[in-house]
Amino acid sequence: MTLAFIVLMFGGTFALGVGDVWRKKYLNEGVDEQVLLTVTLFLTGVLLLPFVAIVGFPEIKSGFWLAAGGTITLNLISQNLFIRAFKLRDASLIAPLRLIVPPLVIVTGFVFLGERPSLLGALGIFITMIGLWFLLFKKEDMTWLRLMMKFKDRGVLYGLIASVLFAVSFPLDKMVVEKPGVGHNGLHLGLY
């Protein structure tokens, strides 16, 4: 199972990187970002249809539609912000902003699901954040003024907001799949 996870993780990460480069290429060539996003989301849905046909639709439980509606809404907003960020800035600056999602999911996973990561898991996430810091900022960028200017950039700001929204949608995704309607310590989150 671990080998399958590693293969899928590397394959998915590679595909995401290729997708980011293609997305930026088409945006630079003048393709409208809304057309590009619509085609991408449509093709993603079409690619998933054969799996649903093979496996079948899962049982729809109480609370599914509200959690699904929440995650769909957040993902549509996030995807829109991310594609606009790619239009405004280089892919090499925007794509790494996704690395802020895992540390934020530690918080949102706890708030919505009552989950606590292992110490090694949390450490790995924060080491990734340190790597993000070095990817995004050169030594001469390390002053507070330059740092604030980078975060005032609209492309970077759109990417950051999208990443925060992705972090909120992750626990909702899990609630849709595993525990619809149940939140932190079994608290009712208005999903029933």
Q: What is the DSSP string of 26-61?
A: HHHTT--HHHHHHHHHHHHHHHHHHHHHHH-PPPPP
Question: CA-CA distance, 91 to 44, in Å (whole number)?
Answer: 21
Question: CA-CA distance, 72 to 119, in Å (whole number)?
Answer: 31
Exposure string of 73-98, with b = 16+ CB inside 10 Å and e = fewer, is ebbeebbbbbbbbbbbbebebbbbbb
* 166 Cβ contact partners less than 8 Å away, ≥ 6 residues apart: 74, 75, 78, 98, 101
Q: What is the pLDDT along the chain (192 residues), one digit of tens a residue?
A: 788 888 888 888 898 889 899 999 999 999 999 999 999 889 988 988 888 888 887 777 777 888 889 999 999 999 999 999 999 998 888 888 888 888 899 899 989 888 888 888 888 888 877 776 776 666 655 555 555 566 678 898 999 999 999 999 999 988 887 754 444 444 334 333
Sequence ranges of the domains in the chain: 58-186
180 neighbors 62 (Cβ within 8 angstroms): yes
Is this model's pTM higher than 0.75 or not? yes
128 neighbors 57 (Cβ within 8 angstroms): no
